[in-house]
A and B are shown apart, each in its own frame.
Chain A
Amino acid sequence: MSILILAEHDGQQLKQSTRQAVTAAQAWNAPVHLLLLGGDTAAVAADAARVAGVAQVIRVDAAHLEHPLAEDIASVLVALAGDYQAIVGAHTAFVKNALPRAAALLDVALIADVIEIKGNNSYVRPIYAGNVLASVTNAAGLQLVTIRTTAFDAAGNGGSAAVTTLAAPAAGTLSRWVAETRNVSDRPELATARVVISGGRSLGERFESVLGPLAQQLNGALGATRAAVDAGFAPNDIQVGQTGTVVAPELYIAAGISGAAQHLAGMKDSKVIVAINHDPDAAIFQVADFGIVADLFDAVPQLTAALKQ
């Protein structure tokens, strides 16, 4: 039996999170199939077919899948499920919206946000904001899993998968897509950026003006604590933490962040962590590789200037 991956894409390319799911799926030692849903997936199918470790790409194109709704994604998954031993996706909003719906229709459990896939359908997943690692075993014949992207490397190119096309089930009638807004930014995507610069509430109205130039200099993404987002200093979608985005960049710079457990849950797997905080006892220093006790309004511009040299 094979493994099916619910792929996410922008119409042209796979999201990096899908490539990470491809790597995770190799744990089953079974052929990996990639499911593409969209209005026209011709371009993305070409990208997907090149991914190393993918045996087959399945295209399901239909007008109503241009902006796929949970009920329509779930009905495709339910139609295909009989041919697979596992259905896997990245733990992203797109997959988290649809895969639990499919799980309930299939009457199977879904193991969410796994960081390790062991043999015999056993998994490790963080609970309690990552303060506990739970080992779980699912005896079901069909395994449904979402993976934490930071725990798996992205699969590269080098494959040449066959591409097949399937007809979409009829569109659901329960809901309809209305609109979307995208925060336009020249910066890399937060979840996959090589460098993330995050700030806390103390940045206030100067969040962008202080951290923006440093992000620009390092070609990094901006992140924020929940407090900074709640106070309106940073947009919703850059919240890093238990209930926001989980990141693990090469370099994470935390400016004016005290280090609440909920925030650490979203960044403590970063390769190198820098903490800039005026409070020498801030919890963030306990996870930081390099800490500097300083006023961030002095230290961040200094750092930006030093890097320009």
Chain B
Amino acid sequence: MKALVAVKRVVDHNVRVRIKADGSGVDTAGVKMSINPFDEIAVEEALRLKERGLVSEIVAVTLGEATSQDVLRHALAMGVDRVILVETATELQPLGVAKLLKAVAEREAPQLVLLGKQAIDDDAGQVGQMLAALLGTAQGTFASKIDIENGEAIVVREVEGGTETVALKLPAVITADLRLAEPRFVKLPNLMMAKKKPIETLAADSLGVDFAPRVARTAAAEPPVRAAGIKVGSVAELVQKLREAKVI
């Protein structure tokens, strides 16, 4: 069974982002970039399914400019078998991403598509669900556990106040939540070897889908800064302040 894993290159989660001087967006020039943490979890889970003998081949795909190759190298170093870059300089939004991934999924015909539940840059959290809709397959979002039994994917989903278990006919699209798997540490020799592996590159324009942006971003601004308050010297003083603030 083949698994396709979609990964995104994002500003590293430890970087404090800056807004461009003209307020048009976030300045990513010279900023450390990494694989989206939830996508890394999806890659890890695919590797574990392979180690359990449930998956035979793992293909990782990313979309974007040539610089996105580095997240594919990271996936190769983790242990995926093949990687594909769908190259475009166009700004990509969730629906366009889902359409491009659908085109890749139709070429690769995976039984399982794994992605992170959201990217930590745009925090949209839509691509997996949209891809499942476009492919006409089942979906299992916010997964914390995946099993394959009798041709179905059994997915435990994280929801408010507990979990929900669903059974999905294959092929299916599953999005990874934090607890699905802890990504392995990538060893330097693996990273060096990954640099020698081929990256298949497809021009996004050649896939015959409309991935033009649907939504115009008109401005980016800093949120209002919360003013720091005061430090109190004792618990008694804290209680008094909370009473004055009428919150207790």
Interchain CB contact under 8 A, A133 and B235 = no
Which residues of A, 63-79, contact B by the 8 Å Cβ criterion? 67, 69-71, 74
Q: How many A-B residue pairs have CB under 8 A?
A: 246
Q: Does A202 contact B (CB under 8 A)?
A: no
Q: Give the interface size class of chain A.
A: 35 or more
Nearest Cβ on chain A to B92's Cβ, whole angstroms: 12
Q: Interface on chain B toward A: helix, strand, loop, or mixed SS? A: mixed
Provide the residues of chain A in CB contact with B123, threshold 8 Å.
112-113, 126-129, 242
Interchain CB contact under 8 A, B122 and A101 = no
* Bound-complex Cα distance A122 to B216 (A): 9
Q: Does A83 contact B (CB under 8 A)?
A: no
Q: Does B80 contact A (CB under 8 A)?
A: no
* Bound-complex Cα distance A109 to B231 (A): 46
Provide the residues of chain A in CB contact with B162, threshold 8 Å.
180-183, 237
- Chain A residue nearest to B229 (CB atoms) is A289
Interchain CB contact under 8 A, A137 and B215 = yes
Which residues of B, 11-44, contact A by the 8 Å Cβ criterion? 11, 13, 16-17, 19, 26, 38
Interchain CB contact under 8 A, A135 and B121 = no
Which of B107-115, B153-161, B188-196 lines the interface with chain A? B153-161
Provide the residues of chain A in CB contact with B164, threshold 8 Å.
67, 177, 179-180
- Chain A residue nearest to B37 (CB atoms) is A243
Q: Does A2 contact B (CB under 8 A)?
A: no
CB-CB under 8 A for A288 and B235, given A71-B139, A175-B139:
no
Chain B CB count within 10 A is highest, among A127, A226, A262, A291, for A127
Provide the residues of chain B in CB contact with A132, threshold 8 Å.
17, 19, 26, 220-223
CB-CB under 8 A for A131 and B16, given A126-B123, A173-B169:
yes
Cross-chain contact of B229 among A98, A176, A239, A290 (Cβ < 8 A): A290
* Bound-complex Cα distance A102 to B236 (A): 53
CB-CB under 8 A for A306 and B158, given A93-B142, A109-B215, A112-B124:
no
Interchain CB contact under 8 A, A133 and B223 = yes
Provide the residues of chain A in CB contact with B144, threshold 8 Å.
236
Which residues of B, 142-193, contact A by the 8 Å Cβ criterion? 142, 144, 154, 157-169, 172, 178-179
CB-CB under 8 A for A136 and B158, given A109-B93, A180-B164:
no
Chain B CB count within 10 A is highest, among A93, A99, A176, A293, for A93
Interchain CB contact under 8 A, A100 and B130 = yes
Interchain CB contact under 8 A, A104 and B134 = yes
Which of A18-26, A36-44, A267-275 lines the interface with chain B? A267-275
Cross-chain contact of A290 among B38, B140, B179, B230 (Cβ < 8 A): B230
CB-CB under 8 A for A288 and B228, given A93-B158, A100-B130, A302-B235:
yes
Q: Does B69 contact A (CB under 8 A)?
A: no
Provide the residues of chain B in CB contact with A30, threshold 8 Å.
none
Nearest Cβ on chain A to B205's Cβ, whole angstroms: 19
Which of B46-54, B56-64, B82-90, B237-245 lines the interface with chain A? B237-245
Interchain CB contact under 8 A, B130 and A243 = no
- Chain A residue nearest to B10 (CB atoms) is A128
Interchain CB contact under 8 A, B132 and A126 = no
Interchain CB contact under 8 A, A135 and B221 = yes
- Chain A residue nearest to B226 (CB atoms) is A287
- Chain A residue nearest to B122 (CB atoms) is A127
Nearest Cβ on chain A to B216's Cβ, whole angstroms: 5
Chain B window 112-137, contacts with chain A (Cβ cutoff 8 Å), 1 for yes, 0 for no = 00000110111111111111111011
Q: A135-B218, A135-B221, A272-B245 known; 5 other A-B pairs, CB under 8 Å?
A: A109-B214, A129-B120, A132-B220, A134-B220, A291-B229
Sample (28) of A-B pairs whose CB atoms are under 8 Å apart: A99-B129, A100-B125, A109-B94, A109-B95, A110-B95, A113-B123, A122-B218, A131-B223, A132-B220, A134-B217, A134-B220, A136-B217, A174-B169, A176-B166, A183-B161, A183-B162, A229-B178, A237-B159, A242-B123, A250-B247, A251-B247, A273-B226, A273-B229, A287-B228, A289-B245, A290-B238, A292-B238, A303-B238
